[in-house]
Amino acid sequence: MDSSDLSVLRTCVQWLKAGRRVALATVVQTWGSSPRPPGAWLAIRDDGQVVGSVSGGCVEDDLITRIRDDLLQRALPEIVTYGVTQEEAARFGLPCGGTLRLVVEPRPDISGLEDLLARIEQKRMTIRELNLASGTFNLLDASRGDTFSFTAQTMRSFYGPRWRIILIGAGQLSQYVAQIALATDYEVLVIDPREEFAEGIGIAGVDFRTGMPDDVIIEAGIDNHTAVVALTHDPKLDDMALLEALKSSAFYIGALGSRVNTAKRKERLALFDLAPEEIERLHGPVGLYIGARTPPEMAISILAEVTAAKYAVPFLQKRSLSSDELQVRGERMNTMSTI
């Protein structure tokens, strides 16, 4: 789930445990342009304090007033709609005349929310199924392919690590990539069998494993919600991982190295049981070209490319580079791999 929505859940549970009244608003439908997707949360306390967002600030002030003065006194979920007319859309600043529909729960069950929080912290993918007629909800096991849905009777929200990134190598660059990936709600798995990294990556929330990359990848399983990024710059480790990843349905596969090294890697991979179209799935040099000079900047470049692949956005930033630019970029990436 979105990290801001996880913060909403945690804060909502804290407020309820402290004895405060809390209403929980969820985006269920949008038309036109909308800054927040279906499933986004906003929690409003009885004194008007809020956490989260359902519109990027367009309707929050009015919603807070409506909930505090009216909806918070009710017992059952209510549907609230903004932007039905052009005048209302303009009044609330909804972009492009958009329309926003919300479900407001004035009495969310604290025990159920605590259970949901525990499941998320255990990285269990979960559906919260809300009965709009009764205000009660059930928690169901989910899969990565499940999505948010809404009908006149039921709201089904997805929570948990929908997306996953597997990093080969626990060096400095991997640490920055892992931190950014966690902030963008990826489940992060780091694999490194080298003795010098036996103590792990030292980042809370990262699953670190010391087995051989190909074995761990097979054990972990790769689906179309998984990205694999090889960052050791050691062919013995990176290539082993890529051999398995390129045969999988991973939505993104990348490897650190210059264009020259990438070409050599593809030649090596062609010696194994990989089809040409499988080898061409490899992104290398990894990351969008943004002139990155430091490991944190390179991590941003990598996550930017992974994000583009996640949303099927063409890599327009990967323009044709001059020979001098290619040489400089290759030198930087080779230098960074040894940091």
Residue matched to tokens 């970029």: 329
Stated pTM of the model: 0.71
Q: pLDDT per position in the chain (339 positions), as tens?
A: 556 788 899 999 999 999 999 999 999 988 766 667 889 899 999 998 999 888 766 788 888 888 888 888 899 999 998 875 656 656 666 655 567 899 999 999 999 999 999 998 887 889 999 999 999 999 999 988 888 999 999 999 998 777 999 999 999 999 999 999 998 889 999 999 999 998 888 898 899 999 999 999 999 999 999 999 999 989 999 999 999 999 999 999 999 999 999 999 999 999 998 999 999 999 999 999 888 989 999 999 999 999 999 999 987 655 444 555 545 545 554 554 444
Backbone angles phi, psi at 317, to 5 degrees: -70, -20
H or E element, residue 289: none
117 and 183 part of one domain: no
326 and 229 part of one domain: yes
> What's residue 34's pLDDT?
62
41 and 168 part of one domain: no
46 and 93 part of one domain: yes
Give the structural domain span for 332. 163-336
Of 104, 124, 159, at which residue does a domain stop?
Answer: 159
DSSP per-residue letters across 154-176: EEEEEES--EEEEEE--SHHHHH
Q: In what order do the strands lie in the sheet containing 99-105?
A: 50-52, 41-45, 22-31, 99-105, 78-82
Q: Give how many domains the chain has, as a whole number.
A: 2
Q: Is 96 left (phi over 0), alpha (psi -120 to 50) or beta?
A: left
Report the C-alpha gap between 69 and 67 in whole angstroms. 6
153 and 202 part of one domain: no
> What's residue 239's pLDDT?
94
For residue 253, which of 337, 320, 166 has the smallest C-alpha distance?
Answer: 166
> What's residue 87's pLDDT?
65
146 and 194 part of one domain: no
97 and 208 part of one domain: no
CB hemisphere CA count around 203 (13 angstroms): 22
Which residues are CB-contacts of 134 (< 8 A; sequence separation ≥ 6)? Answer: 76
Backbone angles phi, psi at 103, to 5 degrees: -110, 125
88 and 221 part of one domain: no
34 and 134 part of one domain: yes
151 and 241 part of one domain: no
25 and 101 part of one domain: yes
In sequence order, the β-bridge partners of residue 126 are 141, 159
Of 122, 142, 159, at which residue does a domain stop?
Answer: 159
Of 109, 141, 159, at which residue does a domain stop?
Answer: 159
173 and 316 part of one domain: yes
Report the C-alpha gap between 226 and 250 in whole angstroms. 5
CATH assignment of the domain containing 324: 3.40.50.720
Report the C-alpha gap between 271 and 123 in whole angstroms. 38
In sequence order, the β-bridge partners of residue 45 are 22
